[in-house]
Structure 1
């Protein structure tokens, strides 16, 4: 039997995993067994973890239904995409710790791009933010210049403020940027399912598929999503070449986005009759606006983008 202290440890571990938001029910239960590796019987741990996880999934999804449309994590990811477009590699929940993050962040620079610096928070930072601590961001310049690193820190802080967050930083390169925020991620599709739980309700007006090759995240079968959930997919998509998301309205109208070299975000709407797509490179904010129109009005408002480029479909 698992004693009450171990059950409390499992419950806290599961709550943390739910808020971090990138693992499904089975994976969380499996990790519970590894987490409680001092227990004498892994089957008993798995049984207890399954029971507790069912309770916590139900509670988390009920709470999620009361959340505002825009979360602190949405604001963070929006800021990070703006930083990427400005030549600063920005990663959330990147590697396990500070040393690994600093060592590996250079590998996130896309080939052939002009990248000035970086910012990131690692898994331990995210875990602390879930527990109520501020989120801490590392930053720096790839050329190792202190003055350049200071400018990167200033730019990161300014971008966070522009997106409604309140970073604190004293300008000292020995100090990381602190952001007071609530870390929580929306769950949908497979991430919102648990054994014995209710059948997923139609969550909203959009059917969404996506693939984030950089993080090994994919959703091949369309999932019904609200606008808020769709926004989460868009802002959480790593700005690396090939990562894409497709949003389909009730009538079948489609807006799809893909990150290209630069990084630049390409947005288009396919025209099956003409066997082509029409679109242009957009900012993440412009993409959000068009996805919002698709969700609210079930139409693709490419006219607001101005001049468009036509991309013919490949000949089969």
Structure 2
């Protein structure tokens, strides 16, 4: 292990890396910690790097949360995303933080074109560009035509879309230069992207086993994991219909989610199920610790889950996180689908805004009372509808992104489908 100035240098390296990744706003806590270890893979003691990364990430996530509470409702990062969606709609394939570098972006942007679509051009910035932007430098956007030399017309259209959203643009029309966008990189973190493991006195390593499929980029894998990581970074987003077994000291509990409640059941018939808020998964682990079978001795008072942790008023799980929740299934590009993920209103809107404008991109939101609002891109137009099983039909129309955001917001916060308020709906009968 390094000491003295060497240890100070290591901490500075970890702080620089973590602070930048937190600011970029694309990766959750665990991925940033893992990334720090990989980034500093020339350091012999990986455990030291990981411990530092965990410590620094907790501080930086807290600072980011405090800062974003003071940001304006619409940030430059929001404007950037809205500009890219407008370009998508106009027939220019636009991607954010796309691939690692310029060469890879140019090589792979063609794969973003769905079968049967004929876009007029492309625009993107890559991950290194995002790092520069988050570090205070101008963002640079590449543009061009597919399979042809660069086009001044496409460049001008990209620049105009950025200006339309209120972003400053520096570009002279030189085809040899990318479009420069000086901006304040304020990327909000919500939900999973804002989650941080808490510091508790009774953390413990548990074994987990997925009993059903859990799709998505950041799904957990079978094996050992710290209980605080499992219960703060993964269990709150347990997909619909997915069961997970948690084992500790020879005792196991199987967990599934019932809307905003985590339900834990034991194989032993004499042990009742436990129901806790989806954010309070540590109460499930504490039940395992309180089970005499896991320790070989009677449970101590300090290990028993307190009644307030088990239930809320009326014997139900507490109300934290209950308001504004949806179960969301979406596909952003071919082969990348997320099934039945519990998301808040802000998380759901973020999914919508980041959804590329391509025919195979779609999103379905289900409210607590099972009302559904779903959207899909069709030839660069956003179709929104709600299914009506009693009528054996769905009702909808093409909408703007703000209209879709409003419909999703009403479903999340009021638990009702407000699609009829859009007017001029089209009926699509089934069968």
Matched, 1:196 2:198: yes
Relative to structure 1, the CA distance from residue 134 to residue 53 in structure 2 (aligned partners, 3 Å threshold; closer, same or farther) is same
Q: Which runs of 5+ in 1 are unaligned?
A: none
Query: Could you tell me which residue of structure 2 aligns to residue 211 of structure 1?
Result: 330
Specify which structure has the bigger relative contact order, considering alpha-carbon pairs within 8 angstroms and separated by 6 or more residues: 1
Matched, 1:240 2:358: yes
Q: 1:290 aligns with which of 395, 407, 421?
A: 407
Shift of 1:119: 0.5
Query: Could you tell me which residue of structure 2 aligns to residue 122 of structure 1?
Result: 126
User: Is this contact kept in 2: 1:267–1:280, CA < 8 A?
Assistant: yes
Q: Find the residue that maps to 1:78 and give its secondary structure.
A: helix
Greater mean deviation of Cα atoms: 172-181 or 267-276? 267-276
1:63-117 Cα shifts (integer Å, max 9, x gaps): 2333332222222222212211221110110111111111221221221112111
Query: Could you tell me which residue of structure 1 aligns to residue 165 of structure 2?
Result: 163
Query: Could you tell me which residue of structure 2 aligns to residue 220 of structure 1?
Result: 340
Q: 1:231 aligns with which of 327, 349, 356?
A: 349
Query: Could you tell me which residue of structure 2 aligns to residue 56 of structure 1?
Result: 60
Residues 41-120 of structure 1 mapped to structure 2, 5 A cutoff: 41-120=45-124
Relative to structure 1, the CA distance from residue 208 to residue 95 in structure 2 (aligned partners, 3 Å threshold; closer, same or farther) is same
Relative to structure 1, the CA distance from residue 294 to residue 209 in structure 2 (aligned partners, 3 Å threshold; closer, same or farther) is closer
Relative to structure 1, the CA distance from residue 72 to residue 253 in structure 2 (aligned partners, 3 Å threshold; closer, same or farther) is farther
Shift of 1:50: 1.3
Greater mean deviation of Cα atoms: 188-197 or 4-13? 188-197
Q: How many residues align?
A: 308
Q: CA RMSD in A?
A: 2.7
Relative to structure 1, the CA distance from residue 163 to residue 36 in structure 2 (aligned partners, 3 Å threshold; closer, same or farther) is same
Q: Find the residue that maps to 1:157 and give its secondary structure.
A: helix
Q: Find the residue that maps to 2:377 and give its secondary structure.
A: strand
Distance 2:350 2:357 in 1: 14
User: Is this contact kept in 1: 2:113–2:358, CA < 8 A?
Assistant: no
From the CA coordinates, give the structure whose radius of gyration is larger: 2
Q: Find the residue that maps to 1:168 and give its secondary structure.
A: coil
User: Is this contact kept in 1: 2:79–2:167, CA < 8 A?
Assistant: yes
1:239-276 Cα shifts (integer Å, max 9, x gaps): 2333333345576543221234x233221122243343
Q: 1:270 aligns with which of 387, 399, 404?
A: 387
- TM-score with structure 1 length normalisation? 0.86
Distance 1:219 1:164 in 2: 35
Relative to structure 1, the CA distance from residue 137 to residue 74 in structure 2 (aligned partners, 3 Å threshold; closer, same or farther) is same
Query: Could you tell me which residue of structure 2 aligns to residue 306 of structure 1?
Result: 424
Relative to structure 1, the CA distance from residue 138 to residue 267 in structure 2 (aligned partners, 3 Å threshold; closer, same or farther) is same
Shift of 1:41: 0.6
- TM-score with structure 2 length normalisation? 0.65
Relative to structure 1, the CA distance from residue 210 to residue 181 in structure 2 (aligned partners, 3 Å threshold; closer, same or farther) is farther
Distance 2:371 2:82 in 1: 25
Shift of 1:10: 0.9
Relative to structure 1, the CA distance from residue 309 to residue 179 in structure 2 (aligned partners, 3 Å threshold; closer, same or farther) is farther
Q: Find the residue that maps to 1:273 and give its secondary structure.
A: helix
